[in-house]
Amino acid sequence: MEKKAILNSYLRIRKLIGTLGIALPVLVYLFHKDLLASISHYYYTESAVFFIAILSAFGFFLISYRGYDKDPSREMLSDNIITNISGFAVLIVVLIPTSCSESGSEFITKTICDTRNYPMFGHDKSLWNIIHLVSAAIFLFTMGWMSIYRFTRTTNKEEMKFENAIYKCCGYAVWICIAILLIQFVGEKFGADLHATKYDVFILETISVGAFGFSWLIKGKALEDIVAFNKMMFGARKK
């Protein structure tokens, strides 16, 4: 019974992380009703409550998550170490937000950036911005790692073939988005504009958090819950 209770607790945490990941870009956009250059820039809007609350929840859930122990014969890190790294990284993202400038919003630029009327830990310092970007990259990278290497760790390879394919697709989607963002960032440093639109960062971040969110939902057996719910509802109607 104790093992079942622990498993159910893990499943709930996985579903919460997955739901929050998918909800984050949707909520910050809908509440502010304007598209910004990145999800991080919503820290300077009324959507900050969702940005701070969801990312903080990510951090605490990930730090409290234990997951699989490592296999000493072929693995260097356990789930616990990876999620701790990810959890602390995302908390740094909250405590050291992105710089106020380049939000893509004229209103934010004039009322906050130019006047330096920053909310809470807001700033326009390049060093702090780099720390924010690196921490965000670590958070997303480890989420991709979890999907590709940790979620696919199972003895029932054939039975879990479909789920494992989903985990890998989600993980690689996260990593591809990080790679594109890194290329664009380096390109900017060398004076090359590699952006397709001014909302590239927001779009790629949305794909990333949506991908790892979906991966965590699958790992939390959300699909099984939906199937069971439908059976219960349709079964009750037939009776």
Q: What is the mean pLDDT of residues 110-138?
A: 94
Q: What is the mean pLDDT of residues 29-43?
A: 95
Give residues with Cβ within 8 angstroms of 158, minimum separation 6.
Answer: none
One-letter amino acid at 45 equals T
What is the reported pTM? 0.88
- Residue for token pair 């598209």: 35
Rounded distance between C-alpha atoms, residue 178 and residue 140, angstroms: 8
Rounded distance between C-alpha atoms, residue 176 and residue 140, angstroms: 11
170-209 pLDDT, tens digit each: 999 999 999 999 999 999 888 888 888 899 999 999 999 9
Are 116 and 124 within 8 A, CB to CB?
Answer: yes
DSSP character string of 43-57? GGSTTHHHHHHHHHH
55-109 pLDDT, tens digit each: 999 999 999 887 667 666 666 777 788 999 999 999 999 999 999 988 989 989 9
DSSP single-letter state for residue 162 = H
H helix or E strand, kind and range, residue 15: helix 2-32
What b/e sequence results for 179-203 when a residue is b if at least 16 CB atoms lie within 10 Å of its CB, and e otherwise? ebbeebeeeeeeeeeeeeeebbbbb
Other C-beta atoms closer than 10 Å to the C-beta of 54 total 22
pLDDT of residue 229: 46
Map residue 230 onto helix, strand or coil. helix
Query: What are the sequence ranges of the domains in the chain?
Result: 2-151+161-238
DSSP single-letter state for residue 212 = H
One-letter amino acid at 207 equals I
pLDDT of residue 74: 66
Whether 6 shows a pLDDT value over 60: the answer reads no
Q: How many helices (H) and strands (E) does the chain have?
A: 8, 0
Give residues with Cβ within 8 angstroms of 147, minimum separation 6.
Answer: 167, 168, 170, 171, 174, 211, 212, 215
